[in-house]
């Protein structure tokens, strides 16, 4: 049981093993993008670009530094690997298990700090203990996002008993 207040609703997102860290970061940005109050300015000359290209340009603006490297000091969020390591019960005191992603011993989450080209498959192969890979979005203080959409989602209500337009069910 969790003492944490449950936030919003679950959604299934599929991240393929063949994806690179970059593809994963792009997809996660695409998923949270509707929560942002304002979009990054990608320049006025870019009117007739497709969604995929727009996504890339916005991502670059927010998450890449001037050298084209992933910028951990970006203003939106940190992507973290949720720390679900088992505790080592065999010792006198509960010892923190060494994190198999970064090799350090730490209690909190691990930064998703992989190079762009590393595949999800090779990240999964780092895991010594059998468990799921869980990712967490840690919003930066002051990130301009509307988290109320998650707390109180506005669902569209439909009446399943209503007659359909195709005349399926008659009253
Ligand atoms: Zn770690």
Distance, CA of 150 to CA of 143 (rounded, Å) = 15
- Whole-number Å distance, alpha carbon 86 to ligand 1 midpoint, is 13
- Whole-number Å distance, alpha carbon 22 to ligand 1 midpoint, is 19
| Mean of all residue pLDDT scores within the chain | 83
Distance, CA of 30 to CA of 72 (rounded, Å) = 18
- Whole-number Å distance, alpha carbon 80 to ligand 1 midpoint, is 9
- Whole-number Å distance, alpha carbon 87 to ligand 1 midpoint, is 14
pLDDT band at 152 (very low <50, low <70, confident <90, very high): confident
**Portion of the chain with pLDDT greater than 90, in percent:** 47
- Whole-number Å distance, alpha carbon 161 to ligand 1 midpoint, is 51
**Portion of the chain with pLDDT greater than 70, in percent:** 78
- Whole-number Å distance, alpha carbon 26 to ligand 1 midpoint, is 22
Tell me the mean pLDDT in the region 32-59. 85
- Whole-number Å distance, alpha carbon 99 to ligand 1 midpoint, is 5
Q: Residue 2 has what pLDDT?
A: 42
Helix (H/G/I), strand (E/B), else coil: 52? helix
DSSP 19-85: -BHHHHHHHHHHHHGGGBSS-----TT-TT--HHHHHHHHHHHHHB-TTSSB-TT-SSEEEEE---P
Tell me the mean pLDDT in the region 146-156. 74
Q: Residue 150 has what pLDDT?
A: 67
At 86-138, the pLDDT tens digits run: 766 665 556 677 899 999 988 899 999 999 999 999 999 999 988 889 999 99
- Whole-number Å distance, alpha carbon 104 to ligand 1 midpoint, is 6
Query: Which residues keep their CB under 5 angstroms from ion ligand 1?
Result: 99, 101-102, 110
> Quick check: pTM over 0.95?
no
Q: Residue 7 has what pLDDT?
A: 52
Between 129 and 151, name the one with better pLDDT: 129
Q: Residue 156 has what pLDDT?
A: 74
């Amino acid at each position: 049981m969790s003492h944490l207040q449950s936030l919003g609703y679950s959604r299934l997102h599929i991240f393929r093993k063949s994806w690179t860290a970059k593809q994963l970061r792009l997809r996660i940005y695409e998923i949270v993008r509707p929560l942002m109050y304002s979009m990054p300015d990608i320049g006025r000359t870019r009117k007739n670009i497709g969604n995929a290209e727009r996504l890339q340009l916005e991502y670059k603006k927010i998450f890449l530094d001037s050298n084209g490297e992933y910028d951990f000091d970006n203003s939106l969020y940190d992507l973290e690997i949720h720390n679900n390591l088992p505790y080592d019960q065999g010792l006198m005191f509960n010892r923190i298990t060494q994190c198999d992603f970064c090799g350090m011993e730490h209690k909190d989450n691990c930064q998703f700090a992989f190079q762009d080209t590393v595949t999800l498959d090779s990240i999964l192969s780092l895991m010594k203990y059998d468990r799921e890979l869980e990712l967490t979005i840690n919003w930066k203080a002051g990130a301009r996002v509307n988290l109320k959409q998650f707390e109180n989602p506005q669902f569209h209500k439909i009446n399943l008993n209503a007659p359909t337009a195709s005349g399926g069910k008659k009253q």
